[in-house]
Amino acid sequence: MGEVIDFEQLDEHQQMEKVDEIIEAEKNTDGALMPILQRMQHTFGFLPEPALKRVAKQLNKSYSEIVGVVGFYSLFSTTPRGKHTIQVCLGTACYVRGGKSILEAISEYLGIGVGETTEDRMFTLEVARCFGACGLAPAITVDDNVHHRVKSTNIPEILERYREEEEEDT
Ligand code: FES
């Protein structure tokens, strides 16, 4: 998978050029809408509203039809994702050991709800059902890293490590 292009950094003309390129590449496939949306999600990391409007126009469909399809599939997202995805396990073992309060602590610390992204685009918060670390519950993942036996009080420390890494990289 190639680099995600930051849609909001492009000017309007560049945005539409890129969107048209995607539409053009898939428009002759059967049921072109799904492949177009998938390619767009990969390219931009989310499905921006102006891009969806353009797709509607180019495919001669109504915008509400497109929005309906997008809303139906959870793989599509209409808001930009954060650099890091946090998943809080709410499977049985983690739930019993306080997964829900971990979720609340993260949500409060970052000021976002489930499915949302922080304003600095650093984190997206999601919930999950068991990633096989039940013996070390409660567990959360940040990207591909599993953090075991998480305590609410450790949340800042865990998350700030990811922020610091970003700062070191820049
Ligand atoms: S229930 Fe959370 S890792 Fe299994």
Mean confidence (pLDDT) of the chain: 92
Instruction: Assess whether the C-beta atom of 94 lies below 6 angstroms from ligand 1.
Output: yes
- Compute the distance between CA of residue 71 and CA of residue 116 in angstroms, rounded to an integer: 15
Which of 127, 131, 146 should be mutated for ligand 1, with most atoms under 8 A from CB? Answer: 131
Q: What is the pTM of this model?
A: 0.71
Q: Which of these, 20, 13, 8, lies nearest to 46 by C-alpha position?
A: 8
Helix (H, G, I), strand (E, B) or coil at 45: coil
Predicted pLDDT at 11 = 95
Question: Is the CB of 130 inside a 6 Å radius of any atom of ligand 1?
Answer: yes
Tell me, using a 6 A CB cutoff, whether residue 137 lines ligand 1.
Answer: yes
- At residue 170, the pLDDT reads 63
Q: How far is the CA of 77 from the centre of ligand 1 (A)?
A: 25
pLDDT of 1 reads 45
Give domain limits for the chain.
7-72, 84-169
Distance (Å) of CA 154 to CA 16, 79, 83, 147: 44, 28, 21, 10
Q: What integer pLDDT is reported at residue 41 of this predicted model?
A: 93
Which atom of ligand 1 sits closest to the CA of residue 94? Answer: 2
- Please state, in angstroms and as integers, the Cα–Cα distance from residue 157 to each residue in 116, 152, 163, following that order: 21, 10, 10
Nearest alpha carbon to residue 133 among 161, 103, 92, 162: 92
What's the CA gap between 102 and 6, in Å, rounded? 31
155 ligand 1 Cβ < 6 A: no
Return averaged pLDDT per consecutive 10 residues of the chain, 170 residues in all: 80 96 91 94 92 96 95 86 93 96 97 91 93 95 95 96 81
Q: Is 134 in the pocket of ligand 1 (CB under 6 A)?
A: yes
Q: Which CATH number fits domain 84-169: 3.40.50.300, 1.20.120.1630, 3.30.420.40, 3.40.30.10?
A: 3.40.30.10
